[in-house]
Structures are given as structure tokens and as C-alpha cells.
Amino acid sequence: MLVHICCSVDSHYFLQKLAQEYPDEKLIGFFYDPNIHPLSEYTLRLLDVKRSCEMLGIELIEGAYDTDNWLKSATGLEDEPEKGKRCSVCFDDRFMASAMKAKELGEDNFTSTLLVSPKKSISKLKESGDMLAKQYNLTFITPDYRSNGGTQEQNIVAKKDKLYRQDYCGCIYGLLKQRAYQNRVADELFSPISQQILPDSIEEKIALYEERYALEKSKQNYTIEKERFLNYRLKRAYISQKNEVIPSHFLPYSTLKKEYTRGKVQWRDEQGYLDRDGVVFITLAYYNQITRTNYTDIKALIYNPPNLKDELEIRAKIAKNPYNLSSIIITEKTLNGKIEIYAQSEIYEDIREIIKIVN
Ligand code: SF4
């Protein structure tokens, strides 16, 4: 039987129940989810599905990540709520690819792990699955593993096996709506050109789940714990003088009271102080000296900055106060005269997972 897989939390439990109910069937997993945005989140969910299938001894096939076609089919349905028309189109798209794959492999049946997801309508999934099954002369299997405490059991299994639990369905439209409703930054969509790994970014989670995989391979005990912290994203920032933008680099956790300020800089002991908003300037030469780096210009620093932990240490050296949120800006030369500064940033409470080694 071909089993369309949406994510590990659903597939891990669903596949185990399915194997019990259909002991004579060879189950083949099919990860086909071009709805998942961005690519890094797709990679993360696939990584965890691979681990789960490996644990269960189930063959896994990865489908195409053809987002272009998925986005085309969702055109005009961007504002639909979850469980609305866009979701029906999304099920049709994923089930069509699954039915085609089942046919290609000579299978008679197919099903989907979406059926165990408490946020999905079983009747809509069945409607879509049955329609595609009819088209391809297959049977769409619709077991109910949610009722009689199934959802609770699924949660226990997910926790026990330390699965990656995403907190949005998958597409960009659902994500934006959900974050707007929660009044939260959609930080999944930030991907700096520097490729610096930001706190609680998808890239940080991929690194964490890869580390977990390596620890398991080396039979090292570990736990995954949660940490509450103050997160930060810089959305847009620049400085200018006489209408000309000056190359600059803003250290993490640089904020302004409003998005714009201007003033004059006074220099003391290698640091320039704007006469308002607590803004601090340092030159690239001084930055190189305190960080023992050798950047030749600001562009090189922007494209290849030290990692975030090192940049926070630089901030701590300059600002002394660990709760300091002043903008600290690096420029190539000592700036004098009137400077204009624009910085749009977000500081917000967040929670992230961390690995702890257990000896
Ligand atoms: S909310 Fe989920 S099911 Fe609905 S369209 Fe987006 S990814 Fe697909």
C-alpha cells in the first residue's frame, strides 16, 4: 500500500497503526508535499520523516518539490481559511501525485497520514482520496486512528520518540494568516543573505535535528529541552548622510525607539555616540581588532559575518549591559556630521529547543 506522508508526527503513529491493521501489506511511504514553505521547512520535515521511517523499517520515496504547480493551483484561494477551498485543492494535488505513484508501483491501494491529523476534515480527505482513487482505478483506504483516544496516544508516541513538531500546517498562506492572528512575527520567512543561523530559525532546527540524528547513531543519550528567550529579527536597516547610503553592518539586537532617527556623532575611545537614541558606531578597523578578524570592507562582513554567538559577544564587549538594545553600527570610516538612521526590527518572546547530553 502506498502511504502519502505529510509529517513525522502524523506518519510515525499512523504507519504503526496501519502495520497492525494490515500485517500482510508492504507499506511504502511517499513524501509528496510541495505545499510546504519555505524549502528549509520542507527539508526539516523530510529529515524527521526519514528518521521515523528508518525506525519503523519502512521504505520511503520522496516526491518532487514542485512548488510552482502547487502555487498555480492555489491561485485565487490565497485568502481562504484553513479547512476551506484551498485545502481541498491542496489535498487533490497531493492525492493525485500519490495515486499516480501508487499506479506506477503497481499498488491497488493508497492512503494518507493526513487522516490522523486532528486539524483536517476526514470527510474532505475522503472525498478527495475517493475521487482520485476512482480516476486511477485504486482504493483509497480511510482508517480512523483519531477516535477512542487515538489522538492522545499519537501525542504520547510523538513525545516519546522526540519527533519534530511543526506549528503551522505548511503553506505560506496558512502561515501568514496564523502568525497575523497570533500577532507573532513569521520568522520562518527570514533568511539572511549572510546565511547566519538565527535563533529559533528553521536552519537552527535543522542543525539541532541533524545533531540528534548523529547522537542516536553514536548511541549517546540526550534530551531535547525548551528554553524561553528574547528573540530578534532585523527586517531592514541602513544609514545615510546627505541622501547617500553608507555601507554599514548592524549588530544583532540593534533597535531604535522609532524606525528612524538622525543626529550628530561624537567620538570617544574608538566609539562614536549619536546624540540621541543611544546609537553607537564603531569602525571596521576597531571591529577587526576586538574580534581578531580581518574584514577588508563592510560588504565582506555583511556576506560572511561571524556566527551569532560571536556577534553577541562583540555586542557584550561594547555595551557591557546584557540587556542593551542600542543600535551598534559598524562603518568603514569614522563618520562625522549629521547621520540618518533607519532600522526596522522586532524583539519578541520566543521559545526554542535545545539538546542536552545525558551521561
Ligand atoms: S493550510 Fe495546509 S492543507 Fe490548507 S492549503 Fe495550506 S498547506 Fe494545504
Say yes or no to pLDDT of 355 above 90: yes
Q: How is the beta sheet containing 222-241 ordered, strand by strand?
A: 244-246, 222-241, 338-357, 260-268, 271-274, 280-283, 328-331, 248-250
Q: pLDDT class for 359, splitting at 50, 70, 90?
A: confident
Residue 114 Cα: closest atom of ligand 1: 3
Going by alpha carbons, the residue nearest to atom 4 of ligand 1 is 87
Domain boundaries, the chain: 2-164, 232-349
Counting other chains too, the contacts that 207-215 makes at CB distance below 8 Å and 24 or more residues apart are: 208/353, 208/354, 208/355, 209/44, 209/47, 209/48, 209/51, 209/164, 210/47, 211/355, 212/162, 212/355, 213/47, 213/51, 215/355, 215/357
Q: For the segment 59-100, what is each residue's pLDDT rounded down to a tens digit?
A: 999 999 999 999 999 999 999 998 899 999 999 999 999 999
- What pLDDT, in 10s, does the model give residues 174-230? 999 999 999 999 999 998 889 899 999 999 999 999 999 999 999 999 999 999 999
% of the chain beyond a pLDDT of 90: 96
Reference 314, options 297, 336, 293; nearest CA is 293
6-21 pLDDT tens trace: 999 999 999 999 999 9
With cut-offs at 50, 70 and 90, classify the pLDDT of residue 101: very high
272 lines ligand 1 (CB under 6 A): no
For the chain, give the number of residues: 359
The pLDDT value recorded for residue 269 is 84
- Mean pLDDT computed over 315-344: 95
Pick from 37, 77, 86 the residue to mutate for probing ligand 1's pocket: most ligand atoms within 8 Å of its CB.
Answer: 86
List Cβ neighbours of 205 (8 Å cut-off, separation of 6 or more). 44, 164, 353
Report the percentage of the chain scoring pLDDT > 70.
100
Tell me: the pLDDT tens digits for 105-136?
A: 999 999 999 999 998 999 999 999 999 999 99
Question: Per-residue pLDDT for 301 more than 90?
Answer: yes
* Residue 29 Cβ contacting ligand 1 at under 6 Å: no
DSSP state of 26: P
CA of 119 to the centre of ligand 1 (A): 10
Residue 197: CB partners within 8 Å, gap ≥ 6? 203, 204, 207, 307, 308
* pLDDT higher than threshold 90 for residue 320: no
Preceding omega of 38 cis (within 30 degrees of 0): yes
- Residue with CA closest to ligand 1 atom 2: 169
Question: Side by side, which strands form the sheet with 28-31?
Answer: 59-62, 28-31, 2-5, 109-112, 139-140
pLDDT digits (tens, 9 = 90+) for 146-155: 999 999 999 9
The C-alpha R_g of the chain, in whole angstroms, comes to: 25
C-alpha 12/C-alpha 163 separation (Å) is 9
Q: Report how far residue 242's alpha carbon sits from residue 14's, in angstroms, rounded to the nearest whole number.
A: 63
H or E stretch covering 51: helix 39-56
Q: Which three cell numbers stand for residue 175?
A: 502561515
Q: Is the CB–ligand 1 distance for residue 36 below 6 Å?
A: no
CATH architecture of the domain with range 2-164 = 3-Layer(aba) Sandwich (3.40)
Which pLDDT value is given to residue 330? 98
| Average pLDDT rounded to a whole number, residues 40-57 | 98
Mean pLDDT across the stretch 242-260?
Answer: 96
